[in-house]
Copies of this chain bind each other. A is one copy, B any other.
Amino acid sequence: MSPVRRPRALSGFPEFLPSERIVEQHVLDSLRRTFELHGFASLETRAVEQLDDLLRKGETDKEVYLLRRLQAEDDDSGSSGDQLGLHFDLTVPFARYVLENAGRLDFPFRRYQIQPAWRGERPQEGRYRQFTQADIDVIDANTLSFHFEVEVPLVVGEALSRLPIPPVRIQVNNRKLAEGFYRGVGAEDPSIVLRTVDKLDKIGPDAVAALLVEQAGLSVAAAKACLDLASITSSDLRFADAVAALGVSNPQLDEGLDELVQVVQAGIEQAPGLMVADLRIARGLDYYTGTVYETLLEGFERFGSVSSGGRYDALATDGRTTYPGVGISIGVTRILGLLLGRGMLRASRSVPSAVLVAVVDEASRPTSARIAAALRARGIPSEVAPAAAKYGKQIRHADRRGIPYVWFPDSRAHGGEGSDAVGRPASAIGGSVRDIRSGEQIEADAGTWNPPAHDLWPTISAAEPGDSGPPGEPSMTTEREDEQS
């Protein structure tokens, strides 16, 4: 026997208490339902990828957790092709899965994927090392219709709007628009300009302008034009006029502008208030080639995007077929960490049970078990009291967990026989049920009694931010964790 002792919390690996987990389940169930109503099929990939697949994406190699067997032989580390690492997002595994199973999938392929991801960074404030993401992507073989770039943010917007969280706003931009513009003002390598403009939040416009001249080789006027472009934002279509007013001409710019108009226009028609064109949105990753998305949570804008993604033309290719796609990733742990840490999401109880069936004495435990079984048979979550303690103690057991009802078995029915004072036969699954919140108690039969629908399962309520002391670790997020997809 070597029992576990002295556990230490691990920074960056948040875990929820049972009532918080009920909130998380509610959020994940709701996301799943919306995705499935829109025809996205569920997928789960293994947690590990081969290291060379993980590193192809670039820029993130520092963040990978490698795996090694404790008893591995010395000559076992092998090449990077044999090394395994935990996935740091759900896009790389999805791309690998599509290539591996291309012959058995139907394209266009709509999938959602809700799983943890891991990033082996030095523990620092606001970086989780394990976090759950919820991704949707549509991927096709060789060509992907533009209309999916319109559809995907609407699905994500609908999914987020069904959660008990503050409103979100999806900021939309288009890589073709930005890159065409940069070419139009004379940039030889638009990706350098893009990465530089992406630093606006961190280093400010003056430093960005200086870098654009020094490193991207732009003229001072061109650098100013790029900053002007990045300042354009509108929730209607006026952004298009503002871009035109900058007087830059480029066919790729025109194509991107037309696409961005279509995305924002669809948002105006189908989800007013959801989307805003924001021409500063760049997304750091090289592989985006069309529309890009970031998402701000009202009241939590300073924490950055909670849901990001974009269009990619060739994340995956096997040499013969290329698979373009568009997808958005929702940072579930990020959102829950922010809201749970501030008491803004609460479950009505910490257990599924709607009913605690009391136990009169240990000899009659089977009677209580039969009552609970009769309730469960009609879909009412029920548990039997752990001990035949005094009723007051059994009621406190329910109260501590938020179980709303306590069922007291009919004491005449322990043998399954008997009758009451006026000769009515006692039911073996009868008794009385008390709403322990109001104290109201009624005679009932476990074969017919139902709680009100809102008491059947735990419910989630949204609340204003509490000021009940410092938030716990899950709320200490200060930077984006969901860089993709």
A residues sitting closer than 8 Å to B (CB atoms) are 1-10, 13-18, 21-22, 24-25, 36-48, 50-51, 53, 56-58, 61-72, 84-86, 92, 95-97, 99-101, 104-106, 108, 110-111, 116, 118, 120-121, 130, 140, 145, 147-148, 151, 269-270, 286-287, 314-319, 322, 350-353, 362, 365-366, 369, 373, 376, 379-384, 386-387, 397, 400-401, 457
Residues of B contacting A44 in the complex (Cβ-Cβ under 8 angstroms): 15-16, 21, 24
Q: How far is the CA of A18 from the CA of B365 in the complex (A)?
A: 45
5 more A-B residue pairs beyond the given contacts A4-B95, A38-B383, with a C-beta to C-beta distance below 8 A: A7-B96, A15-B44, A39-B353, A51-B70, A140-B386
- Chain B nearest CB, measured from A238 CB (Å): 22
Q: Bound complex: CA of A365 vs CA of B148, how far in Å?
A: 12
Of B15, B51, B70, B353, which one neighbours A85 at CB under 8 angstroms?
B70
State how many angstroms separate the Cβ of A200 from the closest Cβ of chain B.
24
A-B CB proximity, top 10 nearest: A39-B383, A39-B353, A36-B352, A69-B120, A2-B56, A13-B46, A18-B41, A7-B100, A37-B376, A62-B71
Shortest CB distance A322–B (Å): 8
Q: Are B69 and A42 within 8 A (Cβ)?
A: no
- B70 near A64 with CB under 8 A, answer yes
Residue of chain B at shortest CB distance from A68? B66
Known contacts A43-B21, A69-B120, A110-B383, A48 near B13 by CB under 8 Å = yes
Tell whether A4 pairs with B42 under 8 Å between CB atoms, given A145-B387, A381-B36.
no
Most interface-central of A70, A287, A376 (chain B CB within 10 A): A70
Q: How many whole Å from A395's CB to the nearest CB in chain B?
A: 14
Partner of A381, one of B16, B37, B316, B383: B37
Return chain B residues, CB-CB under 8 Å to A369.
151, 270
Interface centre among A2, A51, A57, A101 (most CB of B within 10 A): A2
With the chains together, A189 CA to B101 CA distance in Å? 53
Chain B residues whose C-beta falls within 8 Å of the C-beta of A380 in the assembled complex: 37
From A36, which residue of chain B is reached at the shortest CB distance? B352
**What residue in chain B is nearest A353 (Cβ atoms)?**
B39
Q: How many whole Å from A164's CB to the nearest CB in chain B?
A: 18
Q: Which of B53, B92, B106 interacts with A400 by CB under 8 Å?
A: B106
Contact yes or no, B130 A48, CB < 8 A = yes
Interchain CB contact under 8 A, B7 and A46: no
Which chain B residues border A64 with CB–CB below 8 Å?
69-70
* Bound form: Cα–Cα A105–B105 in Å: 45
- Given A67-B86, A70-B64, A383-B110: A47 in contact with B100 (beta carbons within 8 A): no
| A314–B3 CA distance with the chains assembled, in angstroms | 6
Q: How many copies does the complex hold?
A: 2
Write out the residue numbers on chain B whose beta carbons fall within 8 Å of the beta carbon of A62: 69-71
Instruction: Check A352–B37 contact: CB distance below 8 A.
Output: yes
Which B residues are CB-close (under 8 A) to A16? 44
Residues of B within 8 A of A362 (CB): 147
> Measured between alpha carbons, how far is A190 from B468 in the docked complex, in Å?
54
Q: State A397–B110 Cα separation when bound (angstroms).
A: 13
Nearest-CB residue, chain B, relative to A58? B2
Report how far A53 CA is from B96 CA in the complex, Å: 34
Residues from chain B with Cβ under 8 Å of A21 in the complex = 41-44
Give, as a whole number of angstroms, the nearest-CB distance from A378 to chain B.
10
- Residue among B3, B8, B41, B350 making CB contact with A352, cutoff 8 Å: B41
Q: In the complex, A376 Cα to B33 Cα: how many Å?
A: 10
Instruction: Tell me the complex Cα distance, A62–B96, Å.
Output: 29
- Looking at the complex, which one of B3, B47, B99, B108 makes contact with A316 (CB distance below 8 Å)? B3
Cβ of A85: which chain B residues have Cβ within 8 Å of it? 70
Judge whether B106 and A401 touch: CB under 8 Å.
yes
Quick check: B69 and A68 within 8 Å, CB to CB? no
A382 near B39 (CB under 8 angstroms)? yes
For the complex, give the distance between the alpha carbons of A100 and B9 in Å: 7
Query: In the complex, what residue of chain B is closest to A60 when comparing beta carbons?
Result: B70
Contact B365 A147 (CB under 8 A): yes
Given contacts A5-B318, A69-B64, whether A376 and B45 have CB atoms under 8 Å apart is no
With a CB–CB cut-off of 8 A, which chain B residues contact A101? 17
Q: Is the pair B96, A4 in contact by a Cβ cutoff of 8 Å?
A: yes
Contact residues in B for A315 (Cβ distance below 8 Å): 3-4
Contact of A3 among B6, B10, B56, B71 (CB under 8 A): B56
Q: In the assembled complex, how far is the CB of residue A275 from the closest CB belonging to chain B, in whole angstroms?
A: 16
Is B70 a contact partner of A37 (Cβ separation < 8 A)? no
Decide: B58 and A69 in contact? CB cutoff 8 A: no
CB A85 to nearest CB in B, in angstroms, measures 7
